[in-house]
Amino acid sequence: MVVLLTSWAVMVSLRSAFLAGLAAAILLVSVSAFLLPTHYKLDDDGVEEIRFGRRRFRAWRDLRRVQVGPGAALVSPFARKHWLERHRGMLLYLDGAPRDEVVAALKARVAK
């Protein structure tokens, strides 16, 4: 609904179908993490994220810190907070997963 409303507002105010379509595309890409199914795999090698055919992998030896929040865990290659960690790290959403087991596995594997 937000995408449609935004596209309509751009179309009415700027009278441009191209910009309305561009606004819709930008909004859809920015919220794709919440719309597309995501699968995570924790194994002996590292953490893998698969979303819409795109695979991201981080080896355990490259990760330095785990930060756990209410709905997700961030595994970061930086030992302390860094402004790049959201891009170089990996955010693992914990909905539907046994939270305590996943957090314990992450903390056990990530280098101190």
User: Rounded to an integer, what distance in angstroms lies between the CA atom of residue 91 and that of residue 49?
Assistant: 9
Name residues whose C-beta falls within 8 Å of residue 97's C-beta, 6 or more positions apart in sequence: 40
Shared domain for 14 and 61, answered yes or no, is no
Shared domain for 43 and 9, answered yes or no, is no
Q: Reduced to 3 states, what is the DSSP secondary structure of residue 23?
A: helix
Residue 16, pLDDT > 70, answer yes
Cβ neighbour number for residue 58 with a 10 Å cutoff: 19
Q: Tell me which residue range forms the domain holding 91.
A: 37-109
Shared domain for 54 and 85, answered yes or no, is yes
Shared domain for 62 and 18, answered yes or no, is no
Residue 41, pLDDT > 80, answer yes
Total count of domains within the chain: 2
- The per-residue pLDDT of the chain, averaged, comes to 91
Q: What pLDDT shows up at residue 77?
A: 93
Q: What pLDDT shows up at residue 112?
A: 58
* 52 vs 78 pLDDT, higher one: 78
Q: What pLDDT shows up at residue 78?
A: 93
CB 92 within 8 A of CB 50: no
Instruction: Name the percent of the chain lying above pLDDT 90.
Output: 69
- The mean per-residue pLDDT over the stretch 4-13 comes to 94
